[in-house]
Amino acid sequence: MMQITAPLAAFCCGLSADHIPQAVTARTRLLLVDLIGNIVRARAEAAVTPSLHAMVQTMGWHAGESHVFGDSARYGPAGAAFLNAALGHALDFDDTPAAATLHTGACVIPAAIAAGEMTGASGADVLAGIVAGYEVTCRIALALPAGAHYARGFHPTATCGVFGAAAAAARVLRLSAAQFESALGIALSQSGGSLQFLTDGAWTKPFQVGWASMAGLSAAILAGHGFRGASEALEGRHGFLQAYAPAPVPERVVLGLGEIYELMSTGVKPYPSCRYGHAGIDATIALRAEHAFKWEEVQKITYGLSTAGMLLVGAPAETKQNPTNIVSAQFSAPFVLSTALATGAMTWDSYQNLDDPVIRHLLPRVQCVHDAEIEAEFPANMSGKITIHARGREFVKTVIVPLGEPSNFLSKDALLAKYQSLAKPSLGAQAQVLARAALEFDALDRIADLTQLSMCRT
């Protein structure tokens, strides 16, 4: 049997900021800024926030010196990791690698930062931890592969993310290779996450991510104190890959390890909704601009998707065409495409239009279908094909690589504009100060020099 867990642990254990390629370091800084913006806005506005915050208080996780971005209170490490991760994912506006089909940063970055605040770690150590966490999360997801994992009803951001969170924290805590492997073994016992939230817009999606980040941090702390986790956590007979997918490809976990950085395959969302709708949003906005459609003249919009895309944003049609809350709207191609057609945009504030008469008029006119051409692009790309039926004609546009993907990445200015739109309402001028520090976080003597800048202005 090919060894997977041990070499992965050894690589992550030896990862040093000095040896991380400059392009990877630069991209990591941008991914950090993007996640911070998500956390700050969710702390102020997400529907899940009061309940999550109350749980942390009730559990006694609020006593400590750790920070939650956009929050003036202090927390224990577990509470900070949990809240930063859950809030980072609450808007569904956080980063995602197309092929891995999950959200990496929301689990990984909070665990790395919480571990860094605990130990007074430098920004360079946190950088190494974040990169290690991305590599572990993405490589495990690619080995499943993610599509087969989804088909079984698992939520890979949580199931794979707990391993990434454990890796991130383990690297920041400077665990030995053996301890690192134990941390992954402990994470195996905590790997969970279900797609059942798709049924009724339940709030469990961000909760699962927060719990995975906190669980990964806990796994690393346990391993650092000598607790023994299961060996061969990934490749073993009862390990993650064998238990969670029908036909995994274990060797994919270590393919090109140290040469290929999967973090560079991570995209940033320009729209706060499921990534499978983004190609359609791009195409709809482009066709609207080109042909000046009025919503009244559109008879039908057909959205061609992959099987995985249909599962998340296209089916069942009767549910997707009648979203009743923000979560269900985020996973409704009819909603995001109706919004893009009616307004020419899709922003976080677009969810205020959930009951808008124009949107409600368009929703049943959006039909999602499986498209063989789009299927052929999966999993490398989350592509989509839009056909607008209007004026007695069909207007077609296919988007293979949506805006925000690595090969079509947001410019630094565009990413910072997204961050400002999320963070400035809560932080005011402090938002710019925080972003400036995050863009240089790996040069900080202590990661706390960044997190202490994160408190809300009010």
- Does residue 245 lie in a domain region? yes
Contacts of residue 104, Cβ cutoff 8 Å, sequence gap at least 6: 95, 96, 97, 133, 134, 137, 138, 157, 161, 164, 263, 266
pTM: 0.90
- Does residue 103 lie in a domain region? yes
Cβ atoms within 10 Å, residue 222: 18
* pLDDT value of residue 288: 97
Backbone φ and ψ of 96, nearest 5°: -160, 130
Residues 265 and 294 in one domain: no
What is the residue whose two structure tokens read 């301890």?
179
* pLDDT value of residue 458: 44
Residues 124 and 263 in one domain: yes
- Does residue 378 lie in a domain region? yes
The CATH number given to whatever domain includes residue 385 is 3.30.1330.120
* pLDDT value of residue 1: 64
Residues 370 and 285 in one domain: yes
Q: Please list the ranges in the chain whose pLDDT falls under 50.
A: 458
- Does residue 412 lie in a domain region? no
Cβ atoms within 10 Å, residue 299: 10
Candidates 140, 374, 165; CA nearest to 277 is: 374
- Does residue 126 lie in a domain region? yes
Residues 147 and 178 in one domain: yes
Residues 279 and 262 in one domain: no
* pLDDT value of residue 134: 98
Residues 68 and 126 in one domain: yes
Contacts of residue 228, Cβ cutoff 8 Å, sequence gap at least 6: 182, 185
* pLDDT value of residue 281: 98
- Does residue 201 lie in a domain region? yes
* pLDDT value of residue 181: 98
* pLDDT value of residue 456: 57
- Does residue 392 lie in a domain region? yes
- Does residue 34 lie in a domain region? yes
* pLDDT value of residue 435: 97
DSSP output for 113-164: HHHHHHHT--HHHHHHHHHHHHHHHHHHHHHTTHHHHHHTTB-HHHHTHHHH
Residues 259 and 284 in one domain: no
Q: Is 402 left (phi over 0), alpha (psi -120 to 50) or beta?
A: beta
Backbone φ and ψ of 303, nearest 5°: -115, 110
Task: List the domain range (segments joined by +) for residue 313.
Answer: 275-399
220 contacts 80 by C-beta, under 8 angstroms: no
**Structure confidence by residue, pLDDT tens digits, 222-251:** 999 999 999 999 999 999 999 999 999 999
Residues 264 and 281 in one domain: no
Residues 153 and 290 in one domain: no
* pLDDT value of residue 179: 98
The CATH number given to whatever domain includes residue 204 is 1.10.4100.10
The total number of structural domains in the chain stands at 2
Residues 95 and 206 in one domain: yes
Q: At what angle do helices 49-58 and 77-90 cross, to 10 degrees?
A: 170
* pLDDT value of residue 121: 98
* pLDDT value of residue 415: 97
What is the residue whose two structure tokens read 């400059």?
22
Residues 283 and 306 in one domain: yes
| Separation between Cα atoms, residue 206 and residue 210, nearest integer Å | 6
Residues 378 and 425 in one domain: no
11 contacts 392 by C-beta, under 8 angstroms: no
**Structure confidence by residue, pLDDT tens digits, 302-334:** 999 999 999 999 999 999 999 998 889 999 999
* pLDDT value of residue 387: 98
